[in-house]
A and B are shown apart, each in its own frame.
Chain A
Amino acid sequence: MTNRKILAEFPYELKPVEKGYNRRTLYINLSTKDIKSRPVSDLMIDKFVGGKGFDLYLMWHAVKDTTRWNDPENEICISFGPLCGNTNYPGSGKSIVTTISPLTDIPVDCNVGGHFGPYAKFSGWDAIEIQGKSDEEIIIYIDGDKGIVQILSAPDEEINSHILAEKLIAEFADNPNSYQYVSVVSSGKAADYVPISCLNFSFWDKRRKVARLKQAGRGGTGMVFRDKRIKALVVKYSGLKGDTNHPVDLETLQKTGLKVHKEIEELDDQQNRMRQVGTAHLVEIMNDYDLLPIKNFKYGQMEEAKGLASWEFKKLFTQGLPDGCWFGCSMSCCKAVDGFIPRTGPYKGQKVTVDGPEYETVGGCGSNLCIWNPRDVVELNFYCDTYGIDTISFGTSCAFAMECYEYGILNKERTGGLDLSWGNADSVFELIHQMGRGEGFGVIVGQGVHKMKEIFAREYGADPKLLQDIGMEAKGLEYSQYMSKESLAQQGGYTLALKGPQHDEAWLIFMDMVNNQIPTFEDKAEALHYFPMFRTWFGLQGLCKLPWNDIEPANNAETDEPAKVPEHVQNYVDIYTAITGKPLDKDELIRQSERVYNFQKVFCLRMGKGRRIDDIPPYRAVGPVTEEEYLSRQERYDKLLKEKQGIDPEGKSTQEKMALLRAYREDQYQQLVDAVYKRKGWTKEGIPTIEHLKSLGMDLPEVVEVVKRFL
């Protein structure tokens, strides 16, 4: 290892994982260079399960009520969950990253693929907790073959991920035939300057002979990582076998996994074509249903969007490879564009492999900005990843800036000469490169929508009410790329999500809008209870959500509750018991999530958010802000006025009709919030009641103490 000093070293005893757990976590303090092993208690397993639950438990005890993202006591926690790392069931290689977010000031959690999580777990750790700040650039190295953790100096390397990951893999692997046993977590240059930043988790692609990158995207994890002066986390583990997780019932695990492999083999080509195009299959569906975000979520459909349809990306994605981000994921959805040559920026003209783009990136970096050339979307995807930028927040932030440019709030003088008209890809490239260089207007856009609203009102005299209406953020986090305007349930799905508006808690648009399966407030509230709890469970276990409902058994439509995919729910119950030996049923599965979910809710309250006023969406997420939006769906909105409000739209001006519709929709949203809080066991102000916490077994003294402040 050239030019590296060992700043701290911690040898530890290697022990096999038992029933999915190591029963110890790794604590690293970068200020003191202290490295410790900490035991996992029965309470942690019983109440917090693993994954996000462990992360939040560790963070709760590490931070103060006043801790902000750049305080030394803030942590980056990465945990894996008891089911993580099994090679039998598709989608079992996820890590969950948490930190106090620079965008929201509350805990953010990201579910990310790549090999780091399973390898770190099999190296001996149920979670990694990184606290403090280094006074020099460092790498944290976990050698899971020898049982050593080191903090190493890192003075020389490139920071951008596509270069750094490959360099470190080559450095730490025993030889070129062993690259697949090393995984790297890194960010990129932009994370030094902008909070809309992410972390990249690598896996070595043996066929392409490149490091592939999966993102812990939301909430600014990259900026916390770089603020601690971490260049990378590196893990090496070469002992992986089909039973390394030491399940109690390997037979059931193997048979259940094989059943889903066969479903994917037989049905994926007819269902979602995840193996061909990944989540990009959603682009044309969203456009067909008027749900694809266009021009900062103003519109949901445009003829030009066909230029970003999955068949266009299929031409770019290399076909026929087992593109799983962990071994055994036959869903193989992490597609890649090989031999891509960027036309801009520092890597212009160099051949690179680009991961994705996935649906959210196509929406964020494509349709929402009116960029219709798939190659431009691929290039923005590449630079987002390597600079350590979240494609979702990047897209929503750029879309907001472009709309402000359209209204004259911004102009060339204020953007440093950039023409931010819709569809101007060259300007968007310049914004991203400015983020990478830490200069120019790009750094302002990179602060995210919440900060931009403050800056544009303060510096340019923009109308704060308009900025609030069109700024697609809540709690400080940018919305991900679905139109929720016409789906009340999805407005709740987004805006009530604990970490901020991300679709990973609930995606109810089709159930609500298209299939009309949840017509009443109570139906919607039940869906907004069940699905966030069910989806939370993946983050406790180290699993991916996609193999739950992006493939469905052939007879799923004939079941009582097809939206839940009952056979797959049972699969998860079965593999949990097969690995851990603990009994579980579908109701206890939900209760496992409820405990952690309510803990996270109280954690948000403790850090200063999580109240009812934090659950208010911008009006763009609820209804038409501008006349042009109203007129684009005039027939729909006029009909709603007549049928739902009993108001004859004839003779009324568009402005009058907009005001009436707004009053109705905002009232509907508040009624929904009432129903959801009640179903979740919370007060009208969104505070979990002591009785509810008791019923869940989560009336821990430290939790009750915080809740009492709000009751």
Chain B
Amino acid sequence: MKKFLNTYDEDCIACHACETICARTYFKVDDLERSRIRIEEQEKSAHIVTCNQCETCVKVCPTLALTVNAQGVVLLNNRLCVGCYMCIAACPNESMFRYLGGIIPIKCIACGLCLDSCPTEAIRIEEKKENEK
């Protein structure tokens, strides 16, 4: 089984608390561009963009910097990454991100910290079968 962050757009109120906690945790800044989860505000709703651990990026990485751990989570080895961004282009749900001044891309590693910050349970850690997209 794979561990991943499942999202429920209909429950999202676009408070951006998840982005804030993510950016603070990994970059110690309040810049939402550094978050590994992104909230896209639409006219009457919101869309939560984050990695579903589908592994498409793993297949295109030329340096094998992207690997899958025992829980099925895709991890980026910063030491091996050469910042080509082929993974960003290949990501089918656009959840591999870049940010101004950054060299390596960033992605959700299903750590679950954002869950606690979400007031509506629009984000949940769930499990799916290996081959389920």
Chain A residues packing against B (C-beta within 8 Å): 87-88, 180, 206-207, 240-243, 250-251, 254, 257-258, 261-262, 264-265, 320-322, 324, 327-330
Closest CB in chain A relative to B131 CB, distance in Å: 16
Closest CB in chain B relative to A206 CB, distance in Å: 5
**Quick one: given A242-B103, A243-B103, A258-B98, are A327 and B63 in contact (CB under 8 Å)?**
yes
**Residue of chain B at shortest CB distance from A264:** B89
Once the chains bind, are B89 and A330 in contact (CB under 8 Å)?
A: yes
B100 at the interface (CB under 8 A from A): yes
**Quick one: given A320-B59, A322-B60, are A241 and B90 in contact (CB under 8 Å)?**
no
**Residue of chain B at shortest CB distance from A257:** B85
User: Could you jot down 28 A-B contacts, CB within 8 Å?
Assistant: A88-B83, A88-B84, A207-B64, A240-B82, A241-B83, A241-B103, A242-B84, A242-B103, A243-B83, A243-B103, A250-B103, A251-B101, A254-B85, A257-B84, A261-B85, A261-B86, A261-B88, A261-B89, A265-B89, A320-B59, A322-B59, A322-B62, A322-B86, A324-B62, A327-B63, A327-B82, A328-B82, A330-B90
Docked Cα-Cα span, A328 to B86, in Å, equals 6
Once the chains bind, are A206 and B64 in contact (CB under 8 Å)?
A: yes
Known: A180-B63, A242-B81. 9 other contacts (CB 8 A): A88-B85, A207-B64, A241-B82, A242-B83, A242-B104, A257-B84, A261-B86, A321-B59, A327-B62
Closest 5 CB pairs of A and B: A242-B83, A328-B84, A261-B89, A242-B103, A87-B84
Docked Cα-Cα span, A41 to B82, in Å, equals 30
Chain B residues with CB below 8 A from A254, complex form:
83, 85, 98
Once the chains bind, are B89 and A206 in contact (CB under 8 Å)?
A: no
**Quick one: given A242-B104, A261-B89, A320-B59, are A327 and B64 in contact (CB under 8 Å)?**
no
**Residue of chain B at shortest CB distance from A203:** B62
Chain A residues with CB below 8 A from B82, complex form:
87, 240-242, 327-328
Once the chains bind, are A258 and B89 in contact (CB under 8 Å)?
A: yes
Once the chains bind, are B59 and A330 in contact (CB under 8 Å)?
A: no
Tally of contact residues, B, Cβ under 8 A: 20
B61 at the interface (CB under 8 A from A): yes
**Quick one: given A206-B64, A207-B64, are A87 and B90 in contact (CB under 8 Å)?**
no
Once the chains bind, are A262 and B59 in contact (CB under 8 Å)?
A: no
Chain B residues with CB below 8 A from A321, complex form:
59
Q: How many A-B residue pairs have CB under 8 A?
A: 67
Once the chains bind, are A327 and B89 in contact (CB under 8 Å)?
A: no
Beta-carbon contacts under 8 Å, B45-62 to A: 59-62
Q: Is the interface of B mostly helix, strand, loop or mixed?
A: loop
**Residue of chain A at shortest CB distance from B78:** A241
Closest CB in chain B relative to A45 CB, distance in Å: 26
Docked Cα-Cα span, A262 to B88, in Å, equals 9
- B77-111 vs A, CB cutoff 8 Å, 1 = contact: the mask equals 00001111110111000000010110110000000
Chain A residues with CB below 8 A from B64, complex form:
206-207
Chain A residues with CB below 8 A from B90, complex form:
261, 265, 330
Docked Cα-Cα span, A328 to B59, in Å, equals 13
Docked Cα-Cα span, A251 to B61, in Å, equals 21
Scoring B84, B88, B100 by chain A CB atoms within 10 A of each residue's CB, the highest score goes to B84
Scoring B85, B86, B89, B100 by chain A CB atoms within 10 A of each residue's CB, the highest score goes to B86
**Residue of chain A at shortest CB distance from B86:** A330
Scoring B59, B63, B83, B103 by chain A CB atoms within 10 A of each residue's CB, the highest score goes to B83
Chain B residues with CB below 8 A from A322, complex form:
59-62, 86
Chain B residues with CB below 8 A from A243, complex form:
83, 103
**Quick one: given A262-B89, A322-B59, A322-B60, are A327 and B84 in contact (CB under 8 Å)?**
yes
**Residue of chain A at shortest CB distance from B83:** A242
Chain A residues with CB below 8 A from B103, complex form:
241-243, 250
Chain A residues with CB below 8 A from B98, complex form:
254, 258
Docked Cα-Cα span, A324 to B103, in Å, equals 20
Closest CB in chain A relative to B77 CB, distance in Å: 12
Once the chains bind, are A258 and B88 in contact (CB under 8 Å)?
A: yes
Chain B residues with CB below 8 A from A251, complex form:
100-101
Docked Cα-Cα span, A320 to B61, in Å, equals 11
Scoring B88, B89, B90 by chain A CB atoms within 10 A of each residue's CB, the highest score goes to B89
Docked Cα-Cα span, A243 to B104, in Å, equals 10
Chain B residues with CB below 8 A from A180, complex form:
63
Docked Cα-Cα span, A241 to B65, in Å, equals 12
Docked Cα-Cα span, A492 to B88, in Å, equals 42
Closest CB in chain A relative to B17 CB, distance in Å: 28
Docked Cα-Cα span, A251 to B101, in Å, equals 7
Chain B residues with CB below 8 A from A258, complex form:
85, 88-89, 98
Chain A residues with CB below 8 A from B89, complex form:
258, 261-262, 264-265, 330
Docked Cα-Cα span, A62 to B107, in Å, equals 52
Docked Cα-Cα span, A250 to B103, in Å, equals 9
Closest CB in chain A relative to B62 CB, distance in Å: 5
Docked Cα-Cα span, A695 to B105, in Å, equals 46
Docked Cα-Cα span, A328 to B103, in Å, equals 13
Docked Cα-Cα span, A258 to B89, in Å, equals 7
Scoring B59, B60, B88 by chain A CB atoms within 10 A of each residue's CB, the highest score goes to B60
Closest CB in chain A relative to B130 CB, distance in Å: 18
Once the chains bind, are A330 and B63 in contact (CB under 8 Å)?
A: no
Docked Cα-Cα span, A320 to B60, in Å, equals 8
Chain A residues with CB below 8 A from B88, complex form:
258, 261
Closest CB in chain A relative to B88 CB, distance in Å: 6
Docked Cα-Cα span, A264 to B62, in Å, equals 16
Beta-carbon contacts under 8 Å, B62-81 to A: 62-64, 81
Closest CB in chain B relative to A91 CB, distance in Å: 12
Chain A residues with CB below 8 A from B63, complex form:
180, 206, 327
Chain A residues with CB below 8 A from B100, complex form:
251
Closest CB in chain B relative to A205 CB, distance in Å: 10
Docked Cα-Cα span, A262 to B89, in Å, equals 5
Closest CB in chain A relative to B111 CB, distance in Å: 24
Docked Cα-Cα span, A88 to B86, in Å, equals 9
Chain B residues with CB below 8 A from A87, complex form:
82-84
Docked Cα-Cα span, A243 to B100, in Å, equals 13
Closest CB in chain A relative to B57 CB, distance in Å: 11
Closest CB in chain A relative to B71 CB, distance in Å: 23
**Residue of chain B at shortest CB distance from A258:** B85
Chain A residues with CB below 8 A from B59, complex form:
320-322
Docked Cα-Cα span, A329 to B88, in Å, equals 13
Once the chains bind, are B60 and A330 in contact (CB under 8 Å)?
A: yes
Docked Cα-Cα span, A241 to B104, in Å, equals 9
Docked Cα-Cα span, A19 to B103, in Å, equals 16
Docked Cα-Cα span, A264 to B84, in Å, equals 14
**Residue of chain B at shortest CB distance from A323:** B62
**Residue of chain B at shortest CB distance from A240:** B82
